[in-house]
Amino acid sequence: MERSDFLARVETAQASAILPDHPPDDPGQWVPELPEVDLVTRFIEMAEKMAAEIHTVPVDDVISEVIDRYAIDNYISWDADRIDGLDELPDGPRRIHTETPRGVDGRAEHNAAYMDCQLGITGAEAAFAETGTIVVRSGPGQPRMASLVPLVHVAVLPRERIFRSASHWAADPSARMAEGSNVVFITGPSKTADIESIVTLGVHGPKHLHIVIV
């Protein structure tokens, strides 16, 4: 249907819609009223509740520990200069190339390298204390796949970027929700409860989420 016809039909319909209350003309800005807390403490409490593991030691130490613990031999990462507090990327395991070919050819072959991807290293540009959530944005040097396909995800979060809640973040000018083709809020590792409401981790996304606060 033509856009103009579609919109005209909606306009006619909404004119005769019977809605219960008088909806406000402009809802305006709103954030929930929450008690004042120490943001870092609350974030750690909630993120751990969501089955994330939190670290407050230097990033490089966490990455070495993770590589040992999960016997990592390949990884996918943001560029090192995109991650606060990270000096250099690990040189032991093999780094998977992330520049995906455009167009019809070569994409499936490229994607096949993600099949058994083990570790992903990314930054996190903000966090929500109330829900234990991190915000991960795509951009140059910041591939989406790094927080998505590996078994283990290590995300580096600057402590001054922890907001009280998602709404507090959205109200802040730094949020720029539409910058980058993808912004994802991550709250704990991938999970499902589809079978008999039993929670199991690591369905399509990472099974282990490590957040390093720097």
**Which residues within the stretch 74-93 sit at the binding site for another protein (CB under 8 A)?**
none
| 173 touching another protein, by CB under 8 A | no
Q: List the structure tokens of 188.
A: 């704990």
* By the rule CB under 8 A, 58 interacts with another protein: no
Q: Per CB under 8 A, does 194 bind another protein?
A: yes
Q: Is 185 in the site for another protein (CB under 8 A)?
A: yes
Q: Are 207 and 151 in contact (CB under 8 A)?
A: yes
What is the C-alpha to C-alpha distance for residues 28 and 35, in angstroms, rounded to an integer?
Answer: 22
- Piece in contact with another protein (CB under 8 A), picked from 54-62, 86-94, 118-126, 193-201: 193-201
Q: Which is nearer to another protein, 81 or 102 (CB)?
A: 102
Find the angle CA(198)-CA(202)-CA(203) to the nearest 5 degrees: 75
CA–chain centroid gap for 189, Å, is: 10
Q: How far apart are CA 161 and CA 15, in angstroms?
A: 44
Q: Which of residues 27-56 bind another protein (CB under 8 A)?
A: 27, 29-35, 46, 50
Asked if 71 interacts with another protein (CB under 8 A), we say no
Please tell me the distance from the alpha carbon of residue 57 to that of residue 211, in angstroms, as a whole number. Answer: 11
* Least spacing, CB of residue 139 vs another protein, in Å: 6
Residues 82-141 that bind another protein (CB under 8 A): 98-100, 102-104, 107-108, 111-112, 114-115, 128, 130-133, 138-141
d(CA 207, CA 53) in angstroms, rounded, equals 11
Q: How far apart are CA 67 and CA 51, in angstroms?
A: 19
Work out which of 37, 57, 80, 177 binds another protein, going by CB under 8 A: 177
